[in-house]
Amino acid sequence: MNENISIIAKKISETSNNVIFTGAGISTESGIPDYRSKGGIWDKFRPVYFNEFMSSRDAREEYWRRWSELYQDLILAKPNPAHMAIIKLHEMGLLKSVITQNIDGLHQESGLPDEKVIELHGSTCRIRCMSCNKISSIHDVKKRLDSGDLAPECECGGYLKPDTISFGQAMPVEKVERAIKMSKDCNFFMVVGSTLIVQPASHMPVYAKNSKAFLAIINLSETPCDGICDVRVHGKAGEVMTKIINEIDQNGR
């Protein structure tokens, strides 16, 4: 494992054109459950599909009930050592961009500027009006839910919805294209805490590898891209990322 960490540290230091791809494994270390995993909220209940949300008040109320549960996890969650290691890379001038499957906004909360984060599945820290696109604060919307407004609407009459990609909702074309371009153009691509199962996110390492980037994967379990990567570390995101930063520091950056 330590040998692989040294290789990763060396490769990151060689270029500033480094892309980091993060998934649920980095958020679980901040206490955010992996909702798609067994026992997670999407495993317990049938998901509310986008067309149901848009066509049925019952579905909207159901969605908001579940979101209220997530809200509790969300306000308690703080960036962990893996997020902070990514910030260090940013400060060292060694980070081009983060592509994330996570919807918790923790990369931004850790101090990464918005323009360095591509949120493929959106963010549950923003509430968007589905008609006029106005963004509202999650805390204001939570207050409305708590006061009995069970499916909040915008003043324009549009439905408010967390700014995430729901089941059955189209992926944001511009973001996906930007992520593909970043993946193809980078010299070094590192997966941190993703099982690389959810599409189209899971294709990004393949784009990177096919474009001759060095591909590293840090994850607790196996991924479908293990066979094509250059270096693989089985471990927790926070621990491994901290070791990588220490190694870069020691090598005198």
Active site residues: 121
DSSP state of 159: B
Residue 197 binds Zn ion (CB under 5 A): no
Query: Considering Cα of 194, then 78, then 170, then 213, what sign does the dihedral take?
Result: negative
Could you give the angle at the alpha carbon of 113 between the alpha carbons of 239 and 169, nearest 5°? 90
CB of 164 to Zn ion, least distance (A): 18
CB of 128 to Zn ion, least distance (A): 9
Residues 164-193 within binding reach of Zn ion (CB under 5 A): none
Residue 244 binds Zn ion (CB under 5 A): no
Distance of CA 32 to the CA centre of its chain: 12
Cβ proximity to Zn ion, 128 vs 236, nearer residue:
128
CB of 142 to Zn ion, least distance (A): 18
Q: Which of 86, 154, 204, 229 touches Zn ion (CB under 5 A)?
A: 154
Distance CA 197, CA 219 (A): 13
CB of 25 to Zn ion, least distance (A): 35
Distance CA 245, CA 5 (A): 9
Count of residues of this chain found to bind Zn ion when the rule CB under 5 A is applied: 7
Distance CA 179, CA 91 (A): 21
Residues 96-135 within binding reach of Zn ion (CB under 5 A): 129, 131-132, 134
Residue 158 binds Zn ion (CB under 5 A): yes
Q: Which of 75, 76, 135, 156 touches Zn ion (CB under 5 A)?
A: 156
* Of 27-35, 44-52, 155-163, 197-205: span binding Zn ion (CB under 5 A): 155-163
Closest CA to 212 of 6, 22, 23, 17: 17
Cβ proximity to Zn ion, 42 vs 159, nearer residue:
159
What are the backbone angles phi and psi of residue 172, rounded to the nearest 5°?
A: -75, 110
Closest CA to 151 of 143, 139, 159, 162: 159
The footprint of Zn ion (CB under 5 A) covers 129, 131-132, 134, 154, 156, 158
